[in-house]
């Protein structure tokens, strides 16, 4: 490290700010390498004290500081700060500084995305624009005046309403914006450039007319319609389900090519990764359409959960993110298939989120200690955070949950709040004691719920003994019992549901598990039942119940809860994988159990099942989720077992796959859930057919496809099935789409995740492709991210060459874009389940990275924990 050792910040050390800033007037003169910023703040001392005013600032060239209009030199510039030792009780502070957007490759603060200027300020990017109190609990009213060249930047955008504009003599022009809502600096945004604009209007519930504008690169207007529809659907949904209305006269979305994450909820001016805006049949898959809808919804929902009520400090991030993810999940579920959405969310939890819990970065959804805040935009804070909100919803029910949400928003409107504030509102509105539930906010790790049962035929009593145990994590050796909602149903051996009776009364399907060990006794049970446990994944835990294959087959066929049907197949596959890995270790031949084959056959033949759900039930868990079943495992053996199962299922059910494929052709491309479900099942079937060598079906679909879902469905089947036709198809795809990075990302991704031993070599080749660039995060994720996270076998090669490739990329990104580097690092720090030989190879590489002279805080935090 060139600088001193990075400092850890602790949640417990929170102090209110020594000063408030009530208004901030920004004047920004845009130039590529020398943008000038004038920031005029009204500052007010918070209470009686003599503390200096300490402003945050990074990579700024300070030009001058004035207090009440008088220039001063009474300040000190520290590392990342500007300290004014003696300031009046209330005063006007004027800071002039210069920044270099063209040199900003970290994509934090003000930077250039192609020819446009844009900003990303969350979490701490505003301090790269000017010196400021860059913390979420300082809320100010902003005005922003932007001046730029009129030809290259006809559009000058910022938060709030446009209140003035003018043309200057020198070919430049200016626009002034005023945001009536006080906001923290992380919600500030500025965009300047030339775009095509899609315009529409929305009339809110109470009659407010809102102008909607979506800005996209020139020539992309025809790809913005779905984003606009999604925005209007989000606005309607929030009114109908949560009674929340939009509050400004204008809502703008700008799509940019260079962006570190998905999108950003800046007040009235969202900035989006173009990947989550642009969609048409030729370039976007069905999943892309759903992703656009979800992310547009997510950012829109932040307007209340995040913007109107924000976070007191960054440790509270899940207050806005967990809640907003829960809201976007509900939005997608209300508009589409609830079960399929749930399955997608649960896959993320059980795969990469559980892996995070088991790795060196394990943290509670409300972290206690942070070095680099950008490292905590994690699956734990977001996805597990949403599960915690979902558990509240399960415990309280929709009505009390909505009452709690309304109370929270009304009580804290315009404020920076905490997770405790949220739970307090939920508890008050529902009358429920959530004291033990609150432990979910402070405790990390994945609890294991062990369930054992006993049936007494003489009394008709069925007893469940439930124990909970959370294994220690790197950050917390001791764990306490949690409040776990356990949703269940009981079925007879014939698959008939049984009423739940306890203490002579019929009871709800959700049990409150509160203690380390608890017993639940059901009465009037006529025969030994089959329990459907953890329905809908009612808590983010691992379930341990000794299901027999027969019980799982029954649930897969007969459960009234669709999620349980899917989950039963997953458990059956997991069990099969476990047994086969054992056989593999002993060098014995692998076996496909009859029960699994029968379940697959019944699923394929079941005409009453939603096709999208069928496709999910027929999809084997990915390697990342399977890895979580073991303490330690040989990744190649695991992959071999999975591959073997897939091929056996493909061969044994070939006619049924062919039938599913033939029955689900969609004559013309329509984006509706019915047709999407058909395509999903058809492409799943094609994937299995490809494993039997069905070149004709695959190539036929590729050649005839009129939409990207089917094109990629065929290409994926060809690559995964290693069919000879894949080479010509890949070449054809590249010819057609080399001009469009977003589309070509699919091509990079497919090749990076290809099974063959030459994949690593091909990835190196592709890094030289004219469309690839290490400066564009989308390209990096599509090629390097897909290889290292989506191709475990080739990445974890025993010669270490996969690791070397990633390390080389990380060495470069450590300097140019530490945030992206830090996300790419993940597979190198989650090595606990790998064999000793691979662990040793990885450690050696991490030590090399650790010795880098200019190691970023982002990488330092993760590598030091991994090597600890």
Rounded CA-CA distance 136/310 in Å is 7
Instruction: Say which entry of Zn ion, ligand B3K, none residue 760 contacts (CB below 5 to 8 A, set by partner kind).
Output: none
For position 289 contacting ligand B3K by CB under 6 A, the verdict is no
Supply the minimum distance, in Å, between the C-beta of residue 520 and ligand B3K: 38
Supply the minimum distance, in Å, between the C-beta of residue 319 and Zn ion: 11
- Helix/strand/coil for 59: coil
Place of tokens 């909970």: 468
- Sole binder of ligand B3K in the list 148, 228, 254, 264 (CB under 6 A): 264
For position 688 contacting ligand B3K by CB under 6 A, the verdict is no
Contact yes or no for 348/379 (Cβ under 8 A): yes
For position 238 contacting ligand B3K by CB under 6 A, the verdict is no
Among the listed residues 299, 356, 616, 861, the single catalytic one is 299
Supply the minimum distance, in Å, between the C-beta of residue 324 and Zn ion: 5
For position 265 contacting ligand B3K by CB under 6 A, the verdict is yes
521 - beta bridge partners? Answer: 463
- Strand 530-533 and strand 484-491: the pairing is antiparallel
Rounded CA-CA distance 259/77 in Å is 30
**Measured at CB, which residue is nearest to ligand B3K?**
122
- Strand 19-29 and strand 141-149: the pairing is parallel
Which residues neighbour 621 within 8 Å (Cβ) at sequence distance 6 or greater? 347, 350, 351, 570, 573, 574
DSSP 8-class letter at 789: H
Query: Peptide bond before 123: cis, by omega within 30 degrees of 0?
Result: yes
The nearer residue to ligand B3K, 305 or 468, going by C-beta atoms, is 305
Rounded CA-CA distance 685/485 in Å is 36
Rounded CA-CA distance 655/24 in Å is 68
- Strand 484-491 and strand 497-498: the pairing is antiparallel
- Sole binder of ligand B3K in the list 299, 372, 610, 628 (CB under 6 A): 299
The residue range among 324-332, 591-599, 614-622, 821-829 that interacts with Zn ion, by the rule CB under 5 A, is 324-332
- Closest of 434, 337, 457, 449 to residue 388, by C-alpha: 434
The nearer residue to Zn ion, 324 or 684, going by C-beta atoms, is 324
The nearer residue to ligand B3K, 19 or 237, going by C-beta atoms, is 237
- Sole binder of ligand B3K in the list 339, 374, 576, 778 (CB under 6 A): 374
Site residues (CB under 6 A) for ligand B3K, limited to 425-444: none
Backbone angles phi, psi at 173, to 5 degrees: -140, 170
The nearer residue to Zn ion, 321 or 575, going by C-beta atoms, is 321
Contact yes or no for 812/857 (Cβ under 8 A): no
Site string for Zn ion, 303-322 (x = CB under 5 A): ------------------x-
The nearer residue to ligand B3K, 119 or 576, going by C-beta atoms, is 119
Supply the minimum distance, in Å, between the C-beta of residue 298 and ligand B3K: 5
The nearer residue to ligand B3K, 818 or 827, going by C-beta atoms, is 818
CA distances for 381 relative to 117, 328, 342, 416, angstroms: 30, 15, 18, 18
Indicate if the alpha-carbon torsion angle 115, 116, 122, 127 is positive or negative.
positive
Instruction: Say which entry of ligand B3K, Zn ion, none residue 261 contacts (CB below 5 to 8 A, set by partner kind).
Output: ligand B3K
Supply the minimum distance, in Å, between the C-beta of residue 314 and ligand B3K: 10
Instruction: Say which entry of Zn ion, ligand B3K, none residue 374 contacts (CB below 5 to 8 A, set by partner kind).
Output: ligand B3K
- Helix/strand/coil for 191: strand
Supply the minimum distance, in Å, between the C-beta of residue 302 and Zn ion: 6
The nearer residue to Zn ion, 311 or 434, going by C-beta atoms, is 311
Quick check: is 299 catalytic? yes
Contact yes or no for 824/806 (Cβ under 8 A): yes
Q: Give the count of residues interacting with ligand B3K (CB under 6 A).
A: 12
The nearer residue to ligand B3K, 300 or 401, going by C-beta atoms, is 300
Which residues neighbour 667 within 8 Å (Cβ) at sequence distance 6 or greater? none
- Closest of 634, 627, 633, 493 to residue 551, by C-alpha: 493
Instruction: Say which entry of Zn ion, ligand B3K, none residue 421 contacts (CB below 5 to 8 A, set by partner kind).
Output: none
For position 321 contacting ligand B3K by CB under 6 A, the verdict is yes
Supply the minimum distance, in Å, between the C-beta of residue 325 and ligand B3K: 8
For position 256 contacting ligand B3K by CB under 6 A, the verdict is no
- Sole binder of ligand B3K in the list 237, 377, 522, 547 (CB under 6 A): 377
Place of tokens 């894949």: 726
DSSP 8-class letter at 781: I
The nearer residue to ligand B3K, 377 or 462, going by C-beta atoms, is 377
Cα 159-323-389 angle, rounded to 5 deg:
175
- Closest of 569, 568, 557, 645 to residue 608, by C-alpha: 557
- Strand 90-99 and strand 61-67: the pairing is antiparallel
Indicate if the alpha-carbon torsion angle 634, 639, 642, 644 is positive or negative.
negative
Supply the minimum distance, in Å, between the C-beta of residue 612 and ligand B3K: 26
Site residues (CB under 6 A) for ligand B3K, limited to 120-159: 122-123
The residue range among 144-152, 298-306, 723-731, 822-830 that interacts with ligand B3K, by the rule CB under 6 A, is 298-306
The residue range among 73-81, 258-266, 328-336, 429-437 that interacts with ligand B3K, by the rule CB under 6 A, is 258-266
The nearer residue to Zn ion, 288 or 321, going by C-beta atoms, is 321
- Residue numbers at the binding site for Zn ion (CB under 5 A): 321, 324
- Residue numbers at the binding site for ligand B3K (CB under 6 A): 122-123, 261, 263-265, 298-299, 302, 321, 374, 377
Catalytic residue list: 299
């Amino acid at each position: 490290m060139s600088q001193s050792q990075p400092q850890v910040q602790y949640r417990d050390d929170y102090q209110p700010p020594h000063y408030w800033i009530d208004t901030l007037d920004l004047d920004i003169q845009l130039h590529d390498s020398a943008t000038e910023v004038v920031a005029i703040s009204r500052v007010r001392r918070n209470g009686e004290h003599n503390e200096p005013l300490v402003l945050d600032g990074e990579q700024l060239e300070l030009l001058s500081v004035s207090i009440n209009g008088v220039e001063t030199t009474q300040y000190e510039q520290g590392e990342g700060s500007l300290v004014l030792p003696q300031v009046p009780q209330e005063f006007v502070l004027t800071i002039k500084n210069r920044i270099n957007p063209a040199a900003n490759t970290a994509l934090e603060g003000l930077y250039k995305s192609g020819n446009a200027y844009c900003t990303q300020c969350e979490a701490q990017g505003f301090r790269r624009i000017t010196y400021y109190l860059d913390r979420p609990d300082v809320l100010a009213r902003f005005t922003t005046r932007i001046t730029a060249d009129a030809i290259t930047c006809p559009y000058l955008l910022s938060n709030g309403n446009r209140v003035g504009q003018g043309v200057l003599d020198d070919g430049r022009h200016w626009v002034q914006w005023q945001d009536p809502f006080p906001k923290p600096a992380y919600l500030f945004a500025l965009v300047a450039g030339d775009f095509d604009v899609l315009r529409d209007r929305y009339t809110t519930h109470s009659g407010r007319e809102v102008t909607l504008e979506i800005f996209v690169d020139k020539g992309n207007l025809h790809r913005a319609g779905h984003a606009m529809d999604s925005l209007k659907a989000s606005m309607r949904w929030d009114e109908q389900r949560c009674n929340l209305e939009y509050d400004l006269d204008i809502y703008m979305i700008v799509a940019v090519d260079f962006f570190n994450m998905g999108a950003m909820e800046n007040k009235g001016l969202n900035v989006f990764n173009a990947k989550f805006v642009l969609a048409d049949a030729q370039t976007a898959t069905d999943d892309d359409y759903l992703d656009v809808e979800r992310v547009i919804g997510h950012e829109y929902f932040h307007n209340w959960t995040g913007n109107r009520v924000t976070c007191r400090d960054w440790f509270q991030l899940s207050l806005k993110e967990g809640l907003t993810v829960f809201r976007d999940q509900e939005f997608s579920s209300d508009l589409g298939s609830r079960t399929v959405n749930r399955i997608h969310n649960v896959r993320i939890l059980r795969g990469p989120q559980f892996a995070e819990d088991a790795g060196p970065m394990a943290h509670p959804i409300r972290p206690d200690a942070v070095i680099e805040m950008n490292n905590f935009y994690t699956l734990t804070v977001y996805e597990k955070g949403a599960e915690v909100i979902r558990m509240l919803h399960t415990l309280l029910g929709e009505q009390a949950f909505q009452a709690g949400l309304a109370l929270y928003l009304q009580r804290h409107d315009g404020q920076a709040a905490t997770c405790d504030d949220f739970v307090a509102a939920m508890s008050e509105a529902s009358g429920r004691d959530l004291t033990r539930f609150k432990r979910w906010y402070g405790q990390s790790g994945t609890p294991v719920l062990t369930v054992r049962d006993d049936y007494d035929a003489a009394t008709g009593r069925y007893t469940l003994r439930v124990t909970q145990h959370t294994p220690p994590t790197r950050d917390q050796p001791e764990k306490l019992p949690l409040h776990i909602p356990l949703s269940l149903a009981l079925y007879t051996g014939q698959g008939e549901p049984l009423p739940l009776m306890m203490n002579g009364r019929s009871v709800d399907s959700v049990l409150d598990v509160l203690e380390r060990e608890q017993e639940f006794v059901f009465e009037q049970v006529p025969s030994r039942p089959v329990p459907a446990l953890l329905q809908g994944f009612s808590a983010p835990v691992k379930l341990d119940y000794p299901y027999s294959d027969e019980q799982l087959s029954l649930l897969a066929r007969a459960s009234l809860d669709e999620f349980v049907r899917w989950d039963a197949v997953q458990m059956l596959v997991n069990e099969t994988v476990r047994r086969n890995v054992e056989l593999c270790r002993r060098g014995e031949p692998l076996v496909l159990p009859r029960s699994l084959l029968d379940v697959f056959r019944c699923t394929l033949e079941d005409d009453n099942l939603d096709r999208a759900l069928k496709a999910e039930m027929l999809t084997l868990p990915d390697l990342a989720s399977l890895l979580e079943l073991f303490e330690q495992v040989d990744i190649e053996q695991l992959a071999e077992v999975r591959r073997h199962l897939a091929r056996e299922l493909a061969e044994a059910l070939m006619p049924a796959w062919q039938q599913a494929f033939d029955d689900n052709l969609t004559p013309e491309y329509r984006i509706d859930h019915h047709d999407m479900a058909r395509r999903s099942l058809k492409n799943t079937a094609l994937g299995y057919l490809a494993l039997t060598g069905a070149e004709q079906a695959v190539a036929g679909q590729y050649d005839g496809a009129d939409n990207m879902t089917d094109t990629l469905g065929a290409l994926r089947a060809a690559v995964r099935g290693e069919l000879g036709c894949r080479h010509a198809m890949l070449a054809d795809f590249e010819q057609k789409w080399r001009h469009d990075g977003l589309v070509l990302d699919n091509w990079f991704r497919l090749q990076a995740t290809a099974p063959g031993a030459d994949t690593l070599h091909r990835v190196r080749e592709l890094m030289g492709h004219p469309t690839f660039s290490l400066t564009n995060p989308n390209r990096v994720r599509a090629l390097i991210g897909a290889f290292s996270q989506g191709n475990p076998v080739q990445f974890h090669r025993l010669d270490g060459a996969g690791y070397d490739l990633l390390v080389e990329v990380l060495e470069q990104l450590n300097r140019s874009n530490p945030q992206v580097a830090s996300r790419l690092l993940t597979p190198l720090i989650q090595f606990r389940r790998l064999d000793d030989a691979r662990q040793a190879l990885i450690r050696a590489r991490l030590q090399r990275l650790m010795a880098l002279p200019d190691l970023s805080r982002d990488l330092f935090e993760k590598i030091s924990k991994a090597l600890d």
